[in-house]
């Protein structure tokens, strides 16, 4: 049971190739592997490559709480680097199918940088989804605990709630992100970004990721937040997104198609001991946010 661990600006994933496993993943196994005390520790699992008739590779993405994510920008960059490390791809553009749609990827700088054509951002409520009549969800009000926020919602294959603020902090993301993730407005839950616009070409975000919690960086969150900043007329099409873990570059075209470029670092590779799964038979609190 081999594993490969990478991080993309502090957002870390374990890559597992299905051919190395004699059993499928389930939520309990995922939670053990991702647990930072009882497992390898990660912000999620990348399960692939899987066969496909529609793309060169298929990727399944799992959150540390055991749920499945439609798309992850950082996960796609990491998976692309893994394919490059395994010499399954070269310097040419290649395709990856996710639950959130088809993307195109290319590995650069001897594996250190990956560019992903993430697809198109939509602000339509039924596509995100957000409850209520079909509309573009732009600058609406949402009540959360003791505050009312103005927010925009978007999807790039997975749902996002972007909240522009004059000042943002990790504490705000941690306090309100977990509540907004499960707000009744979002029937499939949502990722949450608290966004500060720095200038016409730069924004800063703090991220609460659906199924993972407070996160140092996120490619899909960067894509959604940049698209919102451009949609609101606050930023030009070329946007640098600053996060606690580092910087991602986003290009937004006229149709809100997104190109994302960012770093990837290989951390380790090894073998998972079968003994790890003995923990499944113990009474352990695998609390996601503990």
Contact residues for 237 (Cβ-Cβ < 8 A; gap 6+): 230, 251, 252, 253
CA dist., res. 7 & res. 20, Å (int): 21
The per-residue pLDDT for range 109-158, each reduced to its tens digit, is: 999 999 999 999 999 999 999 999 999 999 999 999 999 999 999 999 99
The per-residue pLDDT for range 213-248, each reduced to its tens digit, is: 999 999 999 999 999 999 999 999 999 999 999 999
* β-strand partners of 285: none
What pLDDT score was predicted for residue 187? 97
Question: Parallel, antiparallel, or unpaired for β 57-62 and 246-252?
Answer: unpaired
Complete DSSP assignment for the chain? -EEEEEEETTEEEEEE-GGG-SS---HHHHHHHH-TTTSS--S-EEEEEE--SSSSEEEEEE-TTS-EES--HHHHHHHHHHHHHTTS--SS-EEEEETTEEEEEEEEGGGTEEEEEEEE-B-BTTTTT-SSSS-B--SEEEEETTEEEEEEEEESSSEEEEEE-SS--HHHHHHHHHHHHT-TT-TT--EEEEEEEEETTEEEEEEEETTTEEES--HHHHHHHHHHHHHTTSS-SEEEEEETTEEEEEEE-TT-EEEEEEE-EEEEEEE--GGGGGGGGS-----TT-
The per-residue pLDDT for range 26-51, each reduced to its tens digit, is: 999 999 999 999 899 999 999 999 98
| Backbone φ and ψ of 224, nearest 5° | -65, -45
Would you place residue 279 in the very low, low, confident or very high pLDDT band (cuts 50, 70, 90)?
Answer: low
Tokens representing residue 283 in the block:
């009474």
Q: What's the whole-model pTM score?
A: 0.91
Tokens representing residue 263 in the block:
């770093």
Given a contact cutoff of 8 angstroms between Cβ atoms, the answer to whether 71 and 220 are in contact is yes
Nearest 5 degrees, angle CA 95-CA 252-CA 264?
Answer: 50
Structural domains of the chain, with CATH: 2-117+265-281 (3.10.310.10), 120-261 (3.10.310.10)
Given a contact cutoff of 8 angstroms between Cβ atoms, the answer to whether 78 and 67 are in contact is no
What pLDDT score was predicted for residue 282? 59
284 pLDDT higher than 60: no
Question: Parallel, antiparallel, or unpaired for β 113-120 and 257-263?
Answer: antiparallel
């Amino acid at each position: 049971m081999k594993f490969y661990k990478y991080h993309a600006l502090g957002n870390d994933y374990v890559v597992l190739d299905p051919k190395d496993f004699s059993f499928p993943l389930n939520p309990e196994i995922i939670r053990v592997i991702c647990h930072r005390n009882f497992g390898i520790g990660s912000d999620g699992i990348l399960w692939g490559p899987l066969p496909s008739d529609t793309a060169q590779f298929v990727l399944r993405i799992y959150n540390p709480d055991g749920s499945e994510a439609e798309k992850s920008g950082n996960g796609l960059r990491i998976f692309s680097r893994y394919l490059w490390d395994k010499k399954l791809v070269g310097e040419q553009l290649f395709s990856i199918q996710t639950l959130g749609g088809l993307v195109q990827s290319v590995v650069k700088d001897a594996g250190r940088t990956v560019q992903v054509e993430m697809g198109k951002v939509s602000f339509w409520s039924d596509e995100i989804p957000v409850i209520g009549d079909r509309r573009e969800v732009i600058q609406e009000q949402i009540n959360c605990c003791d505050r009312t926020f103005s927010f925009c919602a978007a999807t790039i294959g997975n749902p996002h709630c972007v909240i522009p603020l004059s000042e943002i902090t990790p504490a705000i993301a941690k306090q309100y992100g977990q509540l907004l993730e499960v707000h009744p407005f979002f029937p499939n839950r949502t990722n949450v970004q608290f966004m500060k616009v720095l200038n016409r070409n730069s924004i800063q975000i703090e991220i609460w990721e659906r199924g993972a919690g407070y996160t140092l960086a996120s490619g899909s969150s960067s894509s959604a937040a940049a698209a919102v900043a451009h949609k609101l007329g606050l930023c030009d099409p070329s946007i640098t997104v600053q996060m606690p873990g580092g910087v991602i570059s986003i290009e937004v075209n006229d149709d809100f198609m997104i190109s994302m470029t960012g770093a990837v670092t290989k951390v380790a590779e090894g073998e998972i001991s079968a003994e790890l799964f003995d923990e499944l038979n113990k009474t352990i609190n695998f609390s996601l946010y503990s």
